[in-house]
Structure 1
Amino acid sequence: MTYLTWSRGFKSGGFDARSNASPSADPVPQNPGAPADTSPRPVLIGTFEYEEEEAESIEMGAKMSLFDGAAEVNIALFNTRYDNLQVSIFDGTLGFNVGNAASAVTQGAEFDGRWQITDSLMLAGALAVLDFEFKDYQNGQCLAGQAPTASDGVNCDYTGKTNQYVADWAGNVLLAWRAPLSGTLGIGISVDAIFTDDYNPSQNLDPVVDQDGYVKWNARIGIGALDKSWDVALVGKNLSDETIITYANDTPTSYTIFGSKGHYAFLEAPRSIALQANYHW
């Protein structure tokens, strides 16, 4: 099956009740007790009202069955254009400012498939190739200590930049084997890898917190009843013990009040091995 779709949608505008900044264009004052710092002070202009976001998307693809139904392959190509894309950026103090990027484009390709190689062995995987670009975003928030680059002399120009969490490519591969041990008992073993290219987990794209590409391995071995009434499994997650940043941002008030640049981050769990049991009644 092949398909082609075109769609338009919108997200209504609104009011930013969480904005922590006033309408003033004056720089944030420095804490008198903080070390002397000649870097530009941030200007946090409130974004109390933001505009409606509009999107127009084109997608084409194919869904295919191969080897007499033993395999499936799906392919999709897409392009989405945004006008007044709504963005939310931490202001460095205690709030988030919601505003609009004038225009942005995201496009890419997605592939996924499954192949039942034998009655017991299955191979599956997916791959996404993604490109995102702000086509016009003149009112982005500057990094701590960064001189404004936008024409208004206050904000920073994000035009031509990518967005938070955008990796050039990412995907996964799974190999699973299941077989009966007796008339009532079965065994299952699976190994999967999740991989991604570099991405930035912060809203202001601070390069200090860039996440490097990684491959994360997981595995599971279990036995259980063929009628799925119970099972016991040994489960390993992040067996390669990768350090993965899921979100990062400026430390609240560290620069806007104390004049010291700092960051915080949330991390995925390190390597873990667990015994899992299920019983259904």
Structure 2
Amino acid sequence: MYEAEEALSTEIGIKSRLFDQTLELNATVYKVDFDNFQLNLFDGTQISTANTGEAHSTGLEIDFQWLPPVPWLTLQGSVGFNKTRYGDFPCGPTTWDDRDALPECGEDAPPSQDLTGKRLAFAPAESASITPTVRLPLWPAREIGAMFAVDIIYQGDHFLDPDLDEKTYQEATTKINARLAISPLNKLWAVILNAKNLTQQKERLLVLDAQQQGGNYVAVTHPDETLYSIDFRYNFGFLD
């Protein structure tokens, strides 16, 4: 059995428009304190939920949209810094090759490790993105234009399992996506060419160590090759 998780969130932020309304800049500082923080744990056969006690998250998020002094360019971006830590958690889950239970966890307790003050899984300390977008007339007589955008997305390193097994460590990644859209000014239709993960980054979403089968891991991954696609869109009905 496990108890309900509670969180107390405190944040302060600012929204601003600068340089003759050409720059929209927002920033938020936050702090979240969890009580009875819930963890989903996998023991090799089933997933269970357990409470860890306290956990804490503090951070800063900044996002912006800028219209430079050129009519065809727009810049959007964001940056985030996040620090997450367990509170007092002496009986945390441990890796498959650690079969010892700490004395304070009880004689019949499962294998454990002291995770007090350690970072939480699935929580990169840094993240950032920037998207330059170019819009140009393609066929002015038909009022058809083109839009080209590039997404540069950075995600810091993090762990992919609550036991912080080194085999579940995900290194920082920088992905680049691109898209080219062609459409009329009234946006009645659009043809969009997409290219995802041009840098062919290897990124895992989840890694579980099968403790009943020591040394075996199950991983869920993103495709590490570049994916190309074409979207066709059409708006039915009346447009203003």
Return the TM-score normalized by structure 1: 0.76
- Per-residue displacement from partner, 1:225-278 (whole Å, max 9, x unpaired)? 111111112211000000110111123xxx42x5x3210111112311222222
- Is 1:221 aligned to 2:172, yes or no? no
Q: Matches of 1:150 and 1:213 in 2, distance apart?
A: 36
- Is 1:74 aligned to 2:26, yes or no? yes
Percent of aligned positions that are identical: 28
Do the aligned partners of 2:93 and 2:162 also contact (CA within 8 Å) in 1?
no
What is the deviation of 1:80? 1.2
Root mean square deviation of aligned Cα: 1.6
Do the aligned partners of 1:140 and 1:158 also contact (CA within 8 Å) in 2?
yes
Matches within 5 A, 1:86-235: 86-93=38-45, 95-117=46-68, 118-146=70-98, 147-149=100-102, 151-152=104-105, 154=109, 155-181=112-138, 182-183=140-141, 184-235=143-194
Amino acid at match of 1:77: V
When residues 152 and 134 of structure 1 are mapped into structure 2, their CA distance, relative to the original with a 3 A threshold, is same
When residues 79 and 150 of structure 1 are mapped into structure 2, their CA distance, relative to the original with a 3 A threshold, is farther
Q: Matches of 1:132 and 1:195 in 2, distance apart?
A: 18
Q: Matches of 2:36 and 2:14 in 1, distance apart?
A: 31
Q: Which SS does the other structure have where 1:151 is aligned?
A: helix
Do the aligned partners of 1:81 and 1:103 also contact (CA within 8 Å) in 2?
yes
Amino acid at match of 1:280: N
Q: Matches of 1:141 and 1:62 in 2, distance apart?
A: 39
Amino acid at match of 2:36: N
What is the deviation of 1:52? 2.6
Q: What is residue 198 of structure 2 aligned with on the other side?
A: 239
What residue ranges of structure 1 are gaps of 5+ in the alignment? 1-48
Q: Matches of 1:150 and 1:207 in 2, distance apart?
A: 24
What residue ranges of structure 2 are gaps of 5+ in the alignment? none
Q: What is residue 264 of structure 1 aligned with on the other side?
A: 218
Aligned match for 2:208, one of 236, 239, 249: 249
- Per-residue displacement from partner, 1:127-184 (whole Å, max 9, x unpaired)? 1100001111133222102133462253322111111111110121100011223142
Q: Matches of 1:226 and 1:150 in 2, distance apart?
A: 70
Amino acid at match of 2:187: K
Q: Matches of 1:209 and 1:54 in 2, distance apart?
A: 27
Q: Matches of 1:202 and 1:228 in 2, distance apart?
A: 44
Q: Which SS does the other structure have where 1:139 is aligned?
A: coil
Q: Which SS does the other structure have where 2:11 is aligned?
A: strand
What is the deviation of 1:115? 0.3
Q: Which SS does the other structure have where 1:141 is aligned?
A: coil
- Per-residue displacement from partner, 1:41-64 (whole Å, max 9, x unpaired)? xxxxxxxx1123222222111111
Q: Which SS does the other structure have where 1:186 is aligned?
A: strand
Q: What is residue 280 of structure 1 aligned with on the other side?
A: 235
- Is 1:65 aligned to 2:13, yes or no? no
What is the deviation of 1:203? 3.0
